[in-house]
Amino acid sequence: MWKSCLGLTRPRAATLASRSRILSRNIWRSSVVKTNAGLAAHLTQAAASAAALRPRSSTVAADLSEQLPDVSPDDLPIISSGDRKVAVGWDTRTWSRFHNIWLRDHCRCPKCFHPVTKQRLLNTFEIPPDIKPVRIESKPQGLEVSWPSTEPHISLYPWSWLQRNSYDPVIKKTETVPEKILWGAKIEQSPPSVTYEEAMAGDDKGLFKWLTNIEKFGFSFIQGVPPTPEATQKLTERIGFIRETQYGKFWDFTSDLAMGDTAYTTLALGAHTDTTYFTDPCGLQLFHLLSHTDGTGGASLLVDGFYAASILKELHPDAYDLLSTVNIPSHAAGEPGVLYRPSPPSGYPVLSHDAESGELVQVRWNNDDRSVMHGLEPGRVEEWYDAIRKWNSCLTSPDSEFWVQLQPGTAWVVDNHRVLHGRSAFDGKRRMCGAYVGVDEYRSKLAVLTEKFAPDAVLQATSELPYVVVNGRNIWNSAL
């Protein structure tokens, strides 16, 4: 008998088929989950707030977004200029304050901000530290500020942009963070998928659907892919250029130890993320099974690391905190010509969080590639092993594991910073191909497609203003 992280016991004889039995569903919608009370309580709570994935020590500024009215031309914000700041009154109770120096530094007129390259032209260090506006005005398009200078220098700050970038206090009026949908094994019923035709279509609508799947779920299938390395490489390159590693650029591999890694064997591989030994682990990983003859096994495993982490946090918060703080060294040493370790060599925690929001942003876990644990305090060694046992139980629980026997023609891509993958042992001749894409290339493509197909409120509100959209890009884009 073995124990899952939920204290459930399951017969060891669980077969692949029974492991595909599913218990959980998207926990963000707090749906009923047929598992023990502890998890059900967790799912309800986790569905209530994204806070479920923050370390307990983090704090996040109050979110005033619900209270703010949209700015209308006949109801413009009240503005006032103080000694060092400009205040903007959104309504009687909600004010934002911006330092004069901050406003001047963020002027985006063509003289201060290159309209094509989107780079700052203004010399920040020539701004007088005590700069004050000579005039401020509340205009329909935004806050207009006239600065002291030999010739008139007027800056316009769109209201929606000021709301989004308000820091005193923080308000997230126009922040549209794409929803992440956590999933367990029940995703098997309706996994995110696109067709090869959609992904390859020149209008990029299908490509946006594909990347939106990955953004929301951390993975996506691609159906109807011609079972060739060439077609699979072209498919991958729709997202961005392939990230070349010691395994080559586009891989076409089998169990012949052509490279010094267990991926090139018939062994089972437990749920892991790849390239934990790189300072910057690969962002996406695409796999396409080209053939498997004269043998069985080789099923593919996917686990939503964010889902598993949310369970760990709810049921074992101390373990969650430990995995969020203890650095894990990792290596790739199977090829004589390479010996990879991250920088710094002490590595990174299993669970990494956004320093500003406190949100979980990366899972980095490959117990096979883990090096000697140097950094543990003696008194925490056994506690740490207990924590990774609990983590492993959450990863290997039938609630979390999504097993699928891939066939040629169906590829899958995972966000290697969130979703863990693995495979069951196999025999016979099995040929797999695929490639990595860097996390920045993936997020850049998603940002470009979002700009085109799902512009946020600031882009919509400012696109008609003069000098704003140049070279196809809005100078008020939230990424700048």
Ligand X SMILES: C[N+](C)(C)CCCC[C@H](N)C(=O)O
Ligand Y SMILES: O=C(O)CCC(=O)C(=O)O
Applying CB under 6 A, the residues found at the interface with ligand Y are 263, 269, 274, 287, 300, 421-423, 432
Residue 369 touches which member of ligand Y, ligand X, none, C-beta under 5-8 Å by kind: ligand X
Check residue 261 for interaction with ligand X (CB under 6 A).
yes
Output 54 or 421, the one with its CB closest to ligand Y: 421
How far lies 445's CA from each of 366, 459, 469, in Å? Answer: 27, 17, 19
Give the orientation angle of helix 37-48 with respect to helix 305-315, to 10 degrees.
110
How far apart are alpha carbons 320 and 335 in whole angstroms? 34
Q: C-beta of 388: minimal distance to ligand X in Å?
A: 17
Helix (H) or strand (E) holding 40: helix 37-48
Q: C-beta of 389: minimal distance to ligand Y in Å?
A: 22
Output 275 or 462, the one with its CB closest to ligand Y: 275
How far apart are alpha carbons 53 and 344 in whole angstroms? 25
Check residue 247 for interaction with ligand X (CB under 6 A).
yes
Residue 33 touches which member of ligand X, ligand Y, none, C-beta under 5-8 Å by kind: none
Residue 215 touches which member of ligand X, ligand Y, none, C-beta under 5-8 Å by kind: none
Residue 421 touches which member of ligand Y, ligand X, none, C-beta under 5-8 Å by kind: ligand Y
How far lies 63's CA from each of 29, 59, 66, 70, 425, in Å? Answer: 21, 12, 8, 16, 48
Site for ligand X in 265-294 (CB under 6 A): 272, 274-275
Q: Which token pair is 262?
A: 């267990």
Residue 349 touches which member of ligand X, ligand Y, none, C-beta under 5-8 Å by kind: none
Q: C-beta of 19: minimal distance to ligand X in Å?
A: 22
β-pairing verdict for 219-223 and 193-195: parallel
Output 35 or 300, the one with its CB closest to ligand Y: 300
Check residue 430 for interaction with ligand X (CB under 6 A).
no
Q: Cβ distance 284 to 442 under 8 Å?
A: yes
Nearest to 252, CA basis, from 290, 218, 303: 290
Residue 275 touches which member of ligand X, ligand Y, none, C-beta under 5-8 Å by kind: ligand X
Output 183 or 251, the one with its CB closest to ligand X: 251
Output 217 or 436, the one with its CB closest to ligand Y: 436
Residue 4 touches which member of ligand Y, ligand X, none, C-beta under 5-8 Å by kind: none
Residue 340 touches which member of ligand X, ligand Y, none, C-beta under 5-8 Å by kind: none
The strand pairing partners of 252, in sequence order, are 433
How far apart are alpha carbons 426 and 289 in whole angstroms? 13
The strand pairing partners of 362, in sequence order, are 352
Q: Cβ distance 172 to 359 under 8 Å?
A: no
Check residue 415 for interaction with ligand X (CB under 6 A).
no
Helix (H) or strand (E) holding 433: strand 429-437
How far apart are alpha carbons 108 and 223 in whole angstroms? 45
Output 160 or 366, the one with its CB closest to ligand X: 366
How far apart are alpha carbons 116 and 110 in whole angstroms? 9
Q: C-beta of 276: minimal distance to ligand X in Å?
A: 6
Nearest to 164, CA basis, from 106, 218, 217, 111: 106
Residue 417 touches which member of ligand X, ligand Y, none, C-beta under 5-8 Å by kind: none
Q: Cβ distance 448 to 293 under 8 Å?
A: no
Surface-to-core class of residue 84, CB atoms within 10 Å of its CB (0-12 exposed, 13-18 middle, 19+ buried): middle
Check residue 366 for interaction with ligand X (CB under 6 A).
yes
How far apart are alpha carbons 146 and 228 in whole angstroms? 61
Output 247 or 442, the one with its CB closest to ligand X: 247
Q: C-beta of 262: minimal distance to ligand X in Å?
A: 7
Output 263 or 311, the one with its CB closest to ligand X: 263
Output 115 or 281, the one with its CB closest to ligand Y: 281
Chain residues that interact with ligand X, rule: CB under 6 A: 247, 251, 253, 261, 263, 272, 274-275, 366, 369
